[in-house]
Amino acid sequence: MEFSGIITAVSVVAGCGLLISIFLSIFAARFAVPVNKTEEAITDALPGNNCGGCGYPGCSGLAAAIAKGEAPVSGCPVGGKPVADRIAQIMGVDPGAFVKKVAFVKCKGTCQLAGTDYNYTGPKDCKSEVMAPGRGSKSCDYGCLGFGSCQRVCDNDAITIVDGIAVIDPEKCGACGQCVKACPKGLIEIVPYDSNVRVACASKDKGNVTAKACKAGCVGCGICVKTCQFGAVTVTDNVAHIDYDKCTRCGQCAEKCPKKIITV
């Protein structure tokens, strides 16, 4: 009697399991999402960092965009030319010229050159200090705070803090963009690796205010604009900007800059 009860129980459980598996198979077949093999191949070719430096939500997001033709095969800044060439082969297109990029800190306000308004004693973190009065203790509201929030998110050990400001080693930088996101003042931008002419200031204050706050600040004088023969330099919001597509890297603007904040 007891044995027959066990047999019945086992049969019922087995039957339920069989019915459930049949229903699951039917639903799986009906609601299955078509697999894009090209997208899968591109995902496998990408480094898998999921850093977001490409502007898409992770490697799978970039792979989907490339497969649809919405992003270039060279869209991954971390993978560089080898990954771009591999993806181009998958897509059956010419990889074209790959432009290596690196991160750059738009500030030269070292401890010796930038003034301070008070002694900050809070948490040693840029995101904490930027909440203090004046967006930090530095007299320049746009200056690097130097507590290394960017340094802590860099997986390539490309960032060091020198004399109170972040400095990026272009040879180590993978242009993943994590430091760009980490900087609470938006001081870091991604620029072409071979663009040797860069503006190391982000202050939007008027020239007299900037000059008082930092000896290395752009005063928006416009001499660089007048010097450039190619229309590559403009002054917007009281600070110089360089159009890297127009810049010939001659360095004339840097030579004429009275504050020497255009670096070569």
pLDDT digit string, tens, across residues 88-97: 999 998 888 7
Q: Is 159 found in the same domain as 114?
A: yes
Q: Is 161 found in the same domain as 112?
A: yes
- With a cut of 80, say whether residue 26 has pLDDT above it: no
- With a cut of 90, say whether residue 252 has pLDDT above it: yes
Q: Is 115 found in the same domain as 76?
A: no
Q: Is 182 found in the same domain as 123?
A: yes
Residue 111 lies in a domain: yes
Query: How far, in Å, CA of 217 to CA of 211, rounded?
Result: 6
Instruction: Give the residue from 91, 114, 131 where a domain finishes.
Output: 91
Across 131-145, average pLDDT: 94
What is the distance, to the nearest Å, from the Cα of residue 80 to the centroid of all Cα atoms in its chain? 14
- With a cut of 80, say whether residue 14 has pLDDT above it: no
Q: Is 183 found in the same domain as 107?
A: yes
Q: Which whole-number Å values give the CA distances from 105 to 166, 167, 190, in the listed order?
A: 7, 7, 9
Which is more confident, 251 or 98? 251
Residue 249 lies in a domain: yes
- Rg of the chain in Å (alpha carbons): 27
Q: Is 68 found in the same domain as 42?
A: yes
Query: How far, in Å, CA of 213 to CA of 6, rounded?
Result: 86
pLDDT of residue 50: 87
Mean pLDDT is lowest, of 3-7, 66-70, 116-120, for 3-7
> How many CA atoms are closer than 13 Å to the CA of 224, on its beta-carbon side?
32
pLDDT of residue 54: 86
List the domain range (segments joined by +) for residue 58.
Answer: 37-91
Number of structural domains in the chain: 3
Q: Is 86 found in the same domain as 113?
A: no
- Mean residue pLDDT across the chain: 90
Residue 157 lies in a domain: yes
| Spatial contact of 144 and 213, defined as CB atoms under 8 Å apart | no
Residue 62 lies in a domain: yes
Residue 6 lies in a domain: no
Residues 196-245: pLDDT tens digits? 899 999 999 999 999 999 999 999 999 999 999 999 999 999 999 999 99
Q: Is 240 found in the same domain as 189?
A: no
Residue 260 lies in a domain: yes
Q: What is the helix, strand, coil percentage profile of the chain, to 5?
A: 35, 15, 50
What is the distance, to the nearest Å, from the Cα of residue 156 to the centroid of all Cα atoms in its chain? 13
Q: Is 107 found in the same domain as 85?
A: no
Q: Is 84 found in the same domain as 108?
A: no
Q: Is 72 found in the same domain as 133?
A: no
Tell me, what CATH number does 164's domain have?
3.30.70.20
Residue 13 lies in a domain: no
Q: Is 159 found in the same domain as 187?
A: yes
Tell me, what CATH number does 67's domain have?
1.10.15.40
Residue 56 lies in a domain: yes
Residues 49-89: pLDDT tens digits? 888 888 888 899 999 999 998 989 999 988 888 999 999 99
The pTM of the full predicted model, rounded to 2 decimals, is 0.77
